[in-house]
Amino acid sequence: MNTNGLLMVLFEALELKQARYYYNNSLFTGMAISHTDGVVTSRHMYKDGVKECDYEPPYLNKTTHAILDDLVDCTTDEPMYLNGERYTGTIYCIYPKGRVSSEDVFVRGMHRENTHFYYNSTAIKELVVESVVNEQFCMYEIHEWDSYGQLEYWDAEIECIKEKLKGRISFRLNKDFSIRVFTVSGDFNKVLENSEHLACPYFPAFERVRQLNSGPIDTFNIRFSNQLWAHEPVIKQLIKALQPKTLTINHFSSEYMNLILYASEHNTKKLMIFGFQEEQDEANLKKFLVQKCPHIELII
């Protein structure tokens, strides 16, 4: 799966030396695609120049056919046709030096899911994945890696079209792999519930980051429009685990008081507020902090 900031290239761009495959004179780690006249015949994963296993695209819409973009007119609007019929399968767009720049899934001619690869000199810098499943479920992911393949930024948003729900979780790392800012918004529990469906699943990525640095994070950012109470238990679990130095709240209301008190008991020393829902909320917050959390610095 496209989860580690790996290269994706055409197999023909690889060079075999002493039983190992190289790309640009470096041992190849990533995905390689073989094709015959533009029709994909195999997709494999490589590590340190050795083929490990088949590559399975990380999408909910499973297709078996795959082609290079040379066989279709990618400049036209949907639906996408191949040989006069609406196309179901995966289309790979090719970047210079045999690199794949995008992996797009079509179902009956309609675009459903895709991954975009943004490269720096050695590996993927940014991975963007968009998915639409059964016209009811939309997922959007964007992840970034450094030149060594270490995750720098993780972001996933899920929208349930039928239920009109939308939730998001994101986190960005510092150079020492500590979390600079961790953000939750809306019905973010949908991201947790559907972690296994993501191209870069939340739980393995988060656990890996915390293994590298389990210290207190810089900032925990809360963005909500409604139903904060429904998500409060999970937010408290995250605050307890992350021990944020700063708590940031957008559109503050009195229902956040309990969370502020809880955060003050778990390492939080600074509170940043961006906007109030009611006119009296600012005065109520200042009074609350003086009485309950006098050690917290308030920034408005």
pLDDT tens per residue, range 36-85: 999 999 999 998 999 999 998 877 778 999 999 999 987 777 899 999 99
Q: 51 lies in a domain? A: yes
Q: 103 lies in a domain? A: yes
Q: Which residues contact 77 (CB under 8 A, 6 or more apart)?
A: none
For residue range 242-274, list pLDDT tens digits in order: 999 999 999 899 999 999 999 999 999 999 999
- DSSP letter (8 states) at residue 99: B
Q: 26 lies in a domain? A: yes
Q: 279 lies in a domain? A: no
CA 167 to chain centre: 13
The number of distinct structural domains making up the chain is 1
pTM of this structure: 0.74
Q: What confidence tier does 1 reach under pLDDT thresholds 50, 70, 90?
A: very low
For residue range 277-298, list pLDDT tens digits in order: 888 999 999 999 999 999 999 9
pLDDT at site 112: 85
Amino acid in the structure at residue 76? T
43-80 burial: b if 16+ Cβ within 10 Å, else e = bbbbeebeeeeebebbbbbebeebbbbeebeeeeeeeb
pLDDT at site 4: 47
Q: Which residues contact 149 (CB under 8 A, 6 or more apart)?
A: 4, 5, 6, 29, 123
Separation between Cα atoms, residue 29 and residue 287, nearest integer Å: 57
Q: 194 lies in a domain? A: no
Amino acid in the structure at residue 82? L
Closest CA to 45 of 35, 53, 37: 53
Q: 149 lies in a domain? A: no
Q: 88 lies in a domain? A: yes
For residue range 93-123, list pLDDT tens digits in order: 998 889 998 999 999 999 888 888 877 655 5
Q: 105 lies in a domain? A: yes
Residue 17 lies in domain: 1-112
